[in-house]
Amino acid sequence: MTTPRAGEPFTSRTRVTRSPSETVELGKTLGHCLVRGDVVALYGELGSGKTTLTKGLAAGLGARGQERVRSPTFVLLNLYKGRLPIYHIDLYRVQSLERLHDIGYEEYAFGDGVVVIEWAEKAEQVLPEKAIRVRLKTLGQSSREIRVEFPDKNGKIGL
């Protein structure tokens, strides 16, 4: 588990969702609170609900057609248009940080939209200090424990 950087207070909230639709709703709640420049780092095993949560994040950010939100496993990056651009990155198949640089990660992470990164543990070295970390854990067939860790300056997040 990643710990906050020295001197930076973090807050966390943990929720249990009991269905994919509850996971989407939690994502919507978080998505409503996101602002330009936020990076949401998603952690969790295969099938833990990272893409399902991303559907909610996109909906909360005003993107239409959440059913079109798909994990960009083979293309690495999907763009969704909402009140802010949403850059959805999947690092499952990425073997080195060089590949992340090749797709222009820095431009997105420090740009005009919100970045959502699946398999964020592969990019831990380049995540901004203020990244919002979301840890998903499978509890059962449909149940997930979702822990959201964010800098206190993002304390407006009402999860």
Short-list 7, 63, 3, CA closest to 34: 63
Q: What average pLDDT score do residues 74-99 get?
A: 84
Instruction: Count Cα neighbours of 35 within 13 Å in the Cβ-side half-sphere.
Output: 6
Q: What average pLDDT score do residues 81-96 get?
A: 88
Rounded Cα distance between 71 and 47, Å, is: 11
Question: What would the pLDDT profile of 97-147 be if each residue is shown by its tens digit?
Answer: 777 777 777 777 778 899 999 999 998 888 988 899 999 999 999 999 999
CATH class of 11-153: alpha beta
Instruction: Count Cα neighbours of 159 within 13 Å in the Cβ-side half-sphere.
Output: 29
Read off the DSSP letter of residue 1: -
In this structure, are residues 87 and 57 in contact, taking their beta carbons and an 8 Å threshold? no
Q: How confident is the model at residue 72 (pLDDT cuts 50, 70, 90)?
A: low
